[in-house]
Amino acid sequence: MSPFRKVLIANRGEIAVRVIRACQEMGIATVALFAQADASALHTTLADEAVFLGPSPPPESYLRADRVLQAALDRGCDAIHPGYGFLSENAAFAAATAAAGLTFIGPAPAAIRAMGDKIASRRIMEAAGVPVTPGYHPQAADRAAQEEELLAAAAAIQFPLLVKATAGGGGKGMRVVAAPDDLPAAIASARREAENAFGDPGIYLEKLIEQPRHVEFQVFGDHHGHIVHLFERECSIQRRYQKIIEETPSPALTPRLRAEMGAAAVAAARAVQYTNAGTIEFLLAPDGRFYFLEMNTRLQVEHPITEQVTGVDLVKLQLRVAAGEPLPWSQADLSQRRHAIEARIYAEDPAQGFLPATGRVLRAVEPVGPGVRVDAGITTGDEVSIYYDPMIAKLICVGEDRADAVRKLDWALSHYIILGVATNIPFLRAVVQHPAFVAGDLSTDFIARRLAGWSPQPAPPPDEALIAAALADLLGDGAATAAPSSPTHDPFSPWHAADSFRVGG
Catalytic residues: 298
Q: Give Cα separations from 128 to 116, 125, 266, 300 (angstroms).
A: 17, 5, 10, 24
DSSP for 56-67?
A: SSGGGTTT-HHH
Residue 102's nearest CA partner among 73, 62, 65, 71 is: 73
Give the whole-angstrom CA distance, residue 43 versus residue 9: 9
User: 453 Cβ partners below 8 Å, 6+ apart?
Assistant: none
Give the whole-angstrom CA distance, residue 46 versus residue 13: 11
Burial category of 182 from C-beta neighbours within 10 Å (exposed 0-12, middle 13-18, buried 19 and up)? middle
Give the whole-angstrom CA distance, residue 313 versus residue 411: 26
Q: CB atoms < 10 A from the CB of 321, how many?
A: 24
DSSP state of 440: T
Give the whole-angstrom CA distance, residue 217 versus residue 300: 11
Q: Cα 35–41–43 angle (5° rounding)?
A: 95
Total length of the chain: 505
Residue 256 φ then ψ, to 5°: -65, -45
Give the whole-angstrom CA distance, residue 83 versus residue 36: 20
* Cis amide linkage into residue 109, ω under 30° from 0: no
**347 and 423 Cβ atoms separated by less than 8 Å:** yes
Dihedral sign for Cα 446, 393, 397, 254, please.
positive
